[in-house]
Structure 1
């Protein structure tokens, strides 16, 4: 249950950071955003939501591979 709450908090932080103008971001801000997004991915991955996202992405990748043949 704690994982979901931290993940929701990180989603809010990511959305808040990405809403800022691109010109106003420094390299440090960009790196920090990447680290936060990676942490969010690690927290979401073992949850049912993360597994659902993985399944959808797997199906999209499979469809793209078959379409390319």
Structure 2
């Protein structure tokens, strides 16, 4: 699927950008990282992998909510 093929290099870019030290980042650099991560999320969301991640996060959130009661 084309979405996965585009998402893989974008994920590599995100990991490389986040690997750098925090002190070395400018405000523009942080904003650009956020935009890239959002684009990655949009590409992954409609795929089966994205749906699986959403399901896991939903279960985790409901478990945390129930534990807080």
Please give the range of the TM-score, normalised by the shorter of the 2 chains: over 0.9
Aligned length: 69
TM-score, structure 1 length as denominator?
Answer: 0.95
Tell me how large the CA RMSD over aligned residues is: 0.7
Structure 1 portions without partners, runs of 5+: none
Name the counterpart of 1:67.
67
Structure 1 moving runs of 4+ over 3 Å: none
Name the counterpart of 1:39.
39
Name the counterpart of 1:55.
55
Structure 2 portions without partners, runs of 5+: none
Partners of 1:61 and 1:28 lie apart in 2 by 31
